[in-house]
Amino acid sequence: MFIPLAKPSFGPVEKKLVKKAMDTGWISSIGSFVEQFAREFARAVGVNYALPVANGTVALHLALITAGVGEGDEVIVPALTFVASANAVTYTGAKPVFVDIEPDTWNLDLGKVEAVITKKTRAIMTVDLYGHPVDFTAVKKLCRKHKLAFISDSAESLGSKYRGRPVGSQADVATFSFFGNKIVTTGEGGMLVTGSKKIYDTAKLYRDQGKNIKIHPYFHPVIGYNYAMTNLQAAVGIGQLRRLKSFVRNKRRIADRYRQLLKDTPGISFQKEQKFAQTNWWMFSILVDQKKFGHSRDWLIKHLAKKGIESRPFFYPLPELPPYKKQNRTKNYPVTCKIAAAGINLPTFADLKPSQVDLIAEIISSVASV
């Protein structure tokens, strides 16, 4: 028996659309499914514009370009997230400025943001860690006060809601990822969404090698990038997107079951869903208090592996990574360091069976304080 951490779920619709794309011969970045995926995605998250791209990282890079971020600028980034958030800032020549996270949502601690805003600060990038939305209203208020761009890294939160509305429409620009372990996958892929035509047009220009076909098929007024999504990927995405609601529903049931089964286990705690949020529980996660649980986080990961259960530790604190450590002081991120050292992501894929959740929870609870 082996239960993976993540597993994509494909149905007949995805296979039918991929075959159709192959039959037409349009398999690269030109094809009807690319635009169709963009339209359906924009409608799903409640925005005017959606731009399919090669992956979530390049979506972030494009978002930063549209905000005018460049050499010498600073962008505020949470200290606990996947490294792509910081790397995308670095690609522009700007510097990521890390801020600690909240102990309950594990998202950017807005109470600590103003202290690091300088004349060089150009934008705030938030991340909906493991699917839980940030308090978008509070972030927008802060951005307006300091005249900063608001970029939402929503790579993990597709299908989550903020005050009843889908995540994606709250920031100046938001980005999503369709990597193989995401709630909707195209293997590799991403999406940039916005309510601004100016932002959309700029992102599209840079996505397509800086090409402006209105002037000439091969006129390039800027140095752009090859960041396009293929028609094959978009075909998969259309089929996946149509199943998003069922994916979220299943994952919320899985999370509820985990919480019910583990709530009385000594030393185990969870990410706390806020009243303003309805998370997609992209990756249900636990914190292990070694003293109360009786074993370390790393011991539990190894123990689960011996039982055929794949899990993984939380992201590494970004300020402690070699490319960023010299420009940051880890003592400024106590919550990040504590949570990163205690966190485990558990299997939460949409097709995970209740009996499998029961087994995983039993393995964890059975060794508590032993």
Told to judge if 182 belongs to the known catalytic residues of this protein, a careful annotator would answer: yes
The Cα-based distances of 305 to 4, 36, 346 in angstroms read 10, 41, 11
- List the catalytic residue out of 145, 147, 182, 292: 182
In whole angstroms, what is the distance from residue 210 CA to residue 182 CA? 29
3-state secondary structure of 159: coil
Burial string for 16-55 (b: 16+ CB within 10 Å, else e) reads ebbeebeeeebbebebebbebbbeebbebbebebbbbbbb
First to last CA, the chain: 25
Question: DSSP strand E in the chain: where?
Answer: 49-53, 74-78, 95-99, 121-127, 149-153, 161-162, 165-166, 173-177, 190-194, 268-270, 277-278, 285-288, 312-313, 343-345
Q: Which residue has the tokens 């790393």?
A: 298
Q: What share of the chain is helix, strand, coil (3-state, %, to 5)?
A: 40, 15, 40
Task: Determine how many CB atoms are found less than 10 A away from the CB of residue 284.
Answer: 27
Half-sphere exposure of 115 (CA within 13 A, CB side): 8
- 285 has which bridge partners? 345
Residue 197: is it exposed, middle or buried by C-beta count within 10 angstroms (0-12/13-18/19+)? Answer: exposed
The structure tokens listed for 214 are 């209105």
In whole angstroms, what is the distance from residue 124 CA to residue 119 CA? 13
In whole angstroms, what is the distance from residue 299 CA to residue 152 CA? 34
Catalytic residues: 182
